[in-house]
Amino acid sequence: MPIAKAAPGKTLLNPTDHTLILIDHQSQMAFATKSIDPVLLRNNAALVAKAAKEFKAATILTTVAEKTFSGPMFDEIKSTFPDQAVIDRTTMNTWEDERIAVEVNRLGKSKIVLAGLWTSVCIVGPALSALDQGFEVYVITDACGDVSDEAHQRAVERMVQQGARPMTSLQYLLELQRDWARGETYNETVATSIAHGGGYGLGLIYAKAMFGGAEGH
């Protein structure tokens, strides 16, 4: 008979147990993305970046052919990490770039969280490669996109079949917070939710404005 304990599950993310890799959020990649509206994509990428920054999660930023073809990484990400170097690759599969392997090993986390463009190429490649090497892999699916709904969905299915765990951008933020009594990150979590959390953010604005409401803490 299982015994219930007031403790989080081992597959839930916390700020110190994973490396977030944001991949190819670039103009040229976004132009052909049809599975998600580009405004929503940029919003979700900003939410993820701000969550990682707020909770000091290990983060790798990487682009492909930035100077010659694909353009710079979304400013929503770069402005959140203004002093962090971006690794620019030639490989479509991020995991095949030796500099990424060195950085992943330096950071020393067993869980890898991925988001980027396109899902079927730039996310499937590192996801399947990391899984094959024994890492746990999470994919923030609404901070990814592809050339069609079909391409995005089949890519997600393929990764899930191999053991990747899909999640969303707001879920990532709230999973890192996980307890409203954590006052040191409470204000930033609420601010990020208001700025990028869609209807949930509007609800927070309403509750605070109308009756001084707040998440229990």
Q: Which residues are catalytic?
A: 122
Find, among 140, 180, 187, the residue nearest to 164 by Cα.
Answer: 140
Two structure tokens written together for 65: 């052919």
Q: How far apart are CA 33 and CA 31, in angstroms?
A: 6
Q: Cβ atoms within 10 A of the Cβ of 17, count?
A: 15
Contacts of 37 (CB under 8 A, 6+ apart): none
Radius of gyration of the chain (CA): 17
Secondary structure of 94-157 as H, E, C letters:
HHHCHHHHHHHHHHCCCEEEEEEECHHHHHHHHHHHHHHCCCEEEEEHHHCECCCHHHHHHHHH
